Amino acid sequence: MSALRMISLSLALVCVLSLQTPADGKFVIVFLPDGTPIKAELALDAAARARGVMFRDRMDEDQGMLFVFEREELNSFWMLNVKFPIDILWLDANRRVVHIEQAVPPCPKEPCPSYPTPKPALYVLELKSGVSAAHKIKPYDRMEFVLPREAKPGVR
């Protein structure tokens, strides 16, 4: 493991531990492949995953939402009631990007198109539109993050 990766993991652990308070245990720091930190809200259950970023007015470049599933599977996302375009990145169990949809447009009312992944994913990271291109994220790039114990797949 490279020194940079070890430093990134150490920083992620410190950030996760600093974010974990009794009143606020729903965020992690995701490090993009270039080391850029993103504060990602966790979507851990079916209701949170269905709600996603619906009805929010915006997402900043250093923010995101990390969806955590129980197992790797094919899944799709739609943009119903999302007010701004986003990038959607599907990640496998090793946190490697298996699929990217960039600049996915909002959908104010049904019917909305679905955006499926062609490969199974355990995690999905939603970012502000343009962030994945700005950071040159591509398939097989690896994200770094440390989930709190209660957020790990198979623990909930």
For the chain, 156 residues long, the average pLDDT of each consecutive 10-residue run is: 47 42 66 98 83 80 95 92 92 98 92 95 97 98 92 71
At position 70, the amino acid (one-letter code) is E
Q: What is the CATH number of domain 3-151?
A: 2.60.120.1140
Give the residue among 145, 152, 155 at the shortest CA–CA distance from 11.
Answer: 145
pLDDT at 2: 58
Q: Please give the Cα distance from 104 to 79 (Å, whole number).
A: 8
pLDDT at 152: 82
* Domain map (residue ranges) of the chain: 3-151
pLDDT at 1: 53
pTM, whole model, 2 decimals? Answer: 0.81
